[in-house]
Structure 1
Amino acid sequence: MELQYFGANCLRVATKKAQIVIDDNLDKLGLTSITKPTDITLHTFAGQRAKGSRFVADMPGEYEISGAVIHGIAAQSHMNEKGKQGAVIYTISADDIKIAVLGHINPELTEEQLEQIGVVDIAVIPVGNSGYTLDAIGALKLIKQIEPKVVIPTHYADKAIHYEVPQVELAEAIKGLAMEPSETIVKYKPKTLELTDSTRLVILERQ
């Protein structure tokens, strides 16, 4: 498995048999869409579908495709009223690794949601704040509830990205998380033997 970051909340997860693209709304933010016709695309928020992929998911459900098991879990959006479900959490299981993609959600997860998420190796969490998405405090709440082995932050300030609402700088978000990055890399290739019980912060440079 290999993970690459393309800005905002967009990542590409490459497994042995599949190419999975998450939250590709890059063309709306001043960048270029990365989605290809052979990709599987997942969207944590309705209304941001990228065109041209072979499989699209933007709602809760269970999917098994090209060796990847994908579980979409209904969640309350960060901006929605309590009890109103407008977002989707995804878990992706492939190549003996499990990823949770959390999106712009309320950080107070229910027991049912936590049970559906289960044991996670990698959590992808937005940290941009400014009322648009999670701040460091909200991100920490999720980390403590899910207890992933690796945290990858997304959706922070970037001069190349035209966010609707300005996002905080990554350095400020990291300070709020009270975690030191274990590494800053272009591509992350998780190995099961290297995943320990203590949570590590991995920074992926935007492609």
Structure 2
Amino acid sequence: MKIVTDPYDPEVGYKLPKISTKILTVSHDHFDHNYIRGLNSYQQLIFGDTGSFSNAGIKIKGYASWHDNEKGNLRGPNTIYTYEINKIKICHLGDLGHELSPEDVKAIGKVDVLMIPVGGFFTINSEEVMNTIKEINPKIVVPMHYGTEESRPVFEDTLAPVEDFTSKIQQQGWKIEKGGLLTLTKEKLNKLKDKTVFVLDYK
């Protein structure tokens, strides 16, 4: 089973591989997250929708949020998605622009893997990132939406590099790992001793 979330327009500086997927989710309608025509095919599209969905045993829930801290007045709505697969729960925050309320955190529930934007400017800032991780309390964090050499021609220096985030969270005792593929099982998660940040290769 394959899930794709927030496919990006190649104009952001990265080549989008030609792939097919069973499920496609889009957190918000911006060009760097909504390039659905870049996929070969998909069977189910969840485009900013909230509520509960299921497909082949995978449970998906969408939660309303905002792309900014002014209730969408600056950048519009954003949808947080959780995916439950083989007893593992993954939370993708999209381009979250504000801290979550206690009610939001309670609704999302226990999370194993948190995908969170860490580059700031368009999304939550550095302090809000750390607070959000603390509130959700995942075992693994996958940072996203940060600045790279490839993205600089489009976003210039608005997005902070991932190293700003990893150096800060490492000081709080988190282990940093890097690689092109993160493979998980519930058994592996249960045996995980250190809270871990996994930085995925983007090339």
TM-score by structure 1 length?
A: 0.80
Aligned-partner Cα distance in 1 for 2:88–2:12: 30
Q: 2:161 aligns with which of 169, 176, 182?
A: 169
Letter in 2 for 1:132: F
Q: Is the 8 A contact 1:114 1:146 kept in 2?
A: yes
The percentage of aligned residue pairs carrying the same residue is 25
Shift of 1:70: 0.6
Which structure 1 residue ranges, 5 or more long, are not aligned? 1-17
Structure 1 residue aligned with 2:201: 205
Structure 1 residue aligned with 2:46: 57
Shift of 1:80: 5.0
Moved more, 192-201 or 21-30: 192-201
More helix by share: 2
Q: Is the 8 A contact 2:119 2:147 kept in 1?
A: yes
Aligned-partner Cα distance in 1 for 2:71–2:124: 15
| 1:32 paired to 2:15 | yes
Using a 3 Å threshold, how does the CA distance of structure 1 residues 165 and 67 change in structure 2: closer, same or farther? farther
Structure 1 residue aligned with 2:26: 43
Q: Is the 8 A contact 1:80 1:86 kept in 2?
A: no
The CA deviation string for residues 154-202 of structure 1, in whole angstroms up to 9 with x for no partner, is 1112222354353111212212333554321111111323324753211
Which structure 2 residue ranges, 5 or more long, are not aligned? none
Q: 2:124 aligns with which of 134, 142, 149?
A: 134
Q: Give the 3-state SS of the residue equivalent to 1:114 in structure 2.
A: helix
Q: Is the 8 A contact 2:146 2:160 kept in 1?
A: yes
Aligned-partner Cα distance in 2 for 1:61–1:189: 27
TM-score by structure 2 length?
A: 0.81
Using a 3 Å threshold, how does the CA distance of structure 1 residues 61 and 126 change in structure 2: closer, same or farther? same
Letter in 1 for 2:2: Q
Structure 1 residue aligned with 2:186: 192
RMSD: 2.3
The structure showing larger relative contact order (alpha-carbon pairs under 8 Å, at least 6 residues apart) is 1
Structure 1 residue aligned with 2:80: 89
Using a 3 Å threshold, how does the CA distance of structure 1 residues 165 and 82 change in structure 2: closer, same or farther? farther
Letter in 2 for 1:204: L
Aligned-partner Cα distance in 1 for 2:101–2:15: 36
Q: Is the 8 A contact 1:21 1:35 kept in 2?
A: no
Q: 1:66 aligns with which of 28, 47, 56?
A: 56
Report how many aligned residue pairs link the two structures: 188
Using a 3 Å threshold, how does the CA distance of structure 1 residues 83 and 31 change in structure 2: closer, same or farther? closer
Aligned-partner Cα distance in 2 for 1:91–1:203: 20
Q: 1:158 aligns with which of 148, 159, 179?
A: 148
